[in-house]
Chain A
Amino acid sequence: MNYNWNWKIFFEPNPMGTGTYLDMLLSGLALTIKTALLAWVIALAVGSIVGVLRTLPSRGAYWFGFCWVEFFRNMPLLVQLFLWFFVLPEMLPRAAGLWLKQLPNAPFWTAAIGVGLFMSARVAVQLQAGIGSLPRGQRMAATALGLTTVQGYRYVLLPMAFRIILPPLTSEFLNTIKNTAVAITIGLIELTGQARSMQEFSFQVFEAFTAATILYLLTNAIVVTAMRFLERYVAIPGYITGK
């Protein structure tokens, strides 16, 4: 292989005039983190609501939750992003579609919301499993004390369910970060996107993607560590993984 390694490339100025190639990658990382955080907030919020709906006695609520989950988890993420980015504006009335297309930062919002909704289906299923794993008597005890359904979830069921599903939720958070890379296809220049443009400008493909890999690994390592601390912080003395 005739490849000209150049690890100093990162400190050379990039052709966009925005500093060095490293700066370029770091700005991509910042955008990845911003997109992932917003997507995760959406996934947690929507996923929690849908997950709770799937555990209510009401049939209507259950079916809504069922449809939501099956819609968002059974289509490839790539197709979903295309759907929101390219198809949705055409389906809307002309004025609304035009407004959508001209929205500033459209790739960012589409990616964050699209990845967020995709992940919400997975959060919902896990929360449903977490709530389902609690003894039936817990719900009864809350009810028997006079707590309303909302209070029962808020003070009794959800605090335990979320503790139980914390380890798999960590994985979902990591998946959210990694899934934002798909947004490169709708023009979001996040970390993977910046690595690709660095490769195109400098032809140093291995260096560019090595750096991107390391940045992804570091980010995820930080998330894993933070979640470990959180797990330990909320652990209940004497209970399963208690301290």
Chain B
Amino acid sequence: MIEISHVNKWYSPTFQVLTDCTTSVTKGEVVVVCGPSGSGKSTLIKCVNALEPFQSGEITVDGTKVHDPKTDLPKLRSRVGMVFQHFELFPHLKIIDNLCLAQTKVLGRPLDKAKTKGMQLLERVGLKEQAEKFPAQLSGGQQQRVAIARALAMDPIVMLFDEPTSALDPEMVSEVLDVMVDLAREGMTMMVVTHEMGFARKVANRVIFMDRGEIVEDAQKDDFFGKPRSDRAQKFLSKILSH
């Protein structure tokens, strides 16, 4: 579904953020990307739907080349759902209108169909009653669930999550993770940047560990948690799993 091969990215000639990153996500797979701050996890995931440009290497999503200038990027992005750390709901639109905007403007769905779809998804994330409210009237956890519903409304073939719980109060983390776990169990292809190792243990198929712009470890979940091969991954795990 996602093929990332030999991707390099520089912010300036002397500052390389991604170094020769190669990995893939197959259909129905849940891949967790973890690593210390500044290791390039978010940058890598943003390269997948071309929110960030990269200078060399190749990324294909469902056979479409992301790096090809001829690619219709808006069309590709409309099929790749993305959830951000800071939710990024559109503050001037009601919750239901947040869900309908791209459905109508990008996919060309009639408004009534978009609304029906939006309401179904809001019900699914447990927020049907909030449809007529504005984002600022919702809690962080609720906003992030709306953001997930907004991405799902586009019928994505794959979902990208960029630290979806990092900006949340601790007691709201689980309501968001529950939605993501359900999604994973239903067979959604997911690439998730997160520090939530509990989530990784529960639903991930593979775990990618990044450090200083490199993919240091790319292993099956059990292998990763059982016997990480690299020192750096071991150190990272011992720090975040010790409490």
Chain A contacts to B: CB under 8 angstroms:
135, 137-138, 140-148, 151, 155-156, 159-160, 163, 236-239, 242
Residues of A within 8 Å of B89, CB to CB, are: 141
Contact of A236 among B75, B91, B107, B154 (CB under 8 A): B91
Residue-wise, chain B 67-91 has the 8 Å CB interface mask toward A (1 for contact) of: 0000000111111101011101111
Q: How far is the CA of A236 from the CA of B85 in the complex (A)?
A: 22
- The answer to whether B74 touches A147 (Cβ under 8 A) is yes
Chain B contacts to A: CB under 8 angstroms:
46, 49, 51, 74-80, 82, 84-86, 88-92, 101-102, 105-107, 133-137, 150-151, 154
Residues of B within 8 Å of A143, CB to CB, are: 51, 74, 77
With A146-B75, A160-B91, A239-B136 as contacts: A140 and B51 at CB distance below 8 Å? yes
Residues of B within 8 Å of A145, CB to CB, are: 77-78, 82, 101-102, 106, 150-151, 154
Chain B min CB distance to A142 (Å): 8
Chain B min CB distance to A162 (Å): 10
Q: How far is the CA of A144 from the CA of B49 in the complex (A)?
A: 7
- The answer to whether B88 touches A146 (Cβ under 8 A) is no
Chain A min CB distance to B156 (Å): 10
- The answer to whether A140 touches B84 (Cβ under 8 A) is yes
- The answer to whether A238 touches B134 (Cβ under 8 A) is yes
- The answer to whether A163 touches B105 (Cβ under 8 A) is no
Residues of B within 8 Å of A147, CB to CB, are: 74, 101-102, 105-106
Residues of B within 8 Å of A239, CB to CB, are: 91-92, 134-136
- The answer to whether B77 touches A155 (Cβ under 8 A) is no
Residues of B within 8 Å of A242, CB to CB, are: 134, 136
- The answer to whether A144 touches B82 (Cβ under 8 A) is yes
Closest residue of B by beta carbon distance from A240: B136
26 contacts between A and B (CB under 8 A): A138-B90, A140-B88, A141-B82, A143-B74, A143-B77, A144-B49, A144-B51, A144-B80, A145-B102, A145-B150, A146-B76, A146-B78, A146-B79, A146-B102, A146-B154, A147-B101, A147-B102, A151-B105, A156-B90, A156-B101, A163-B92, A236-B92, A236-B136, A238-B133, A238-B134, A239-B92
Residues of B within 8 Å of A236, CB to CB, are: 91-92, 134, 136
Most buried by A among B79, B90, B136: B90
Closest residue of A by beta carbon distance from B105: A151
Q: How far is the CA of A242 from the CA of B90 in the complex (A)?
A: 15
* Top 7 A-B pairs, shortest CB-CB distance: A146-B78, A238-B136, A141-B88, A145-B102, A144-B82, A146-B106, A238-B137
Q: How far is the CA of A143 from the CA of B136 in the complex (A)?
A: 21
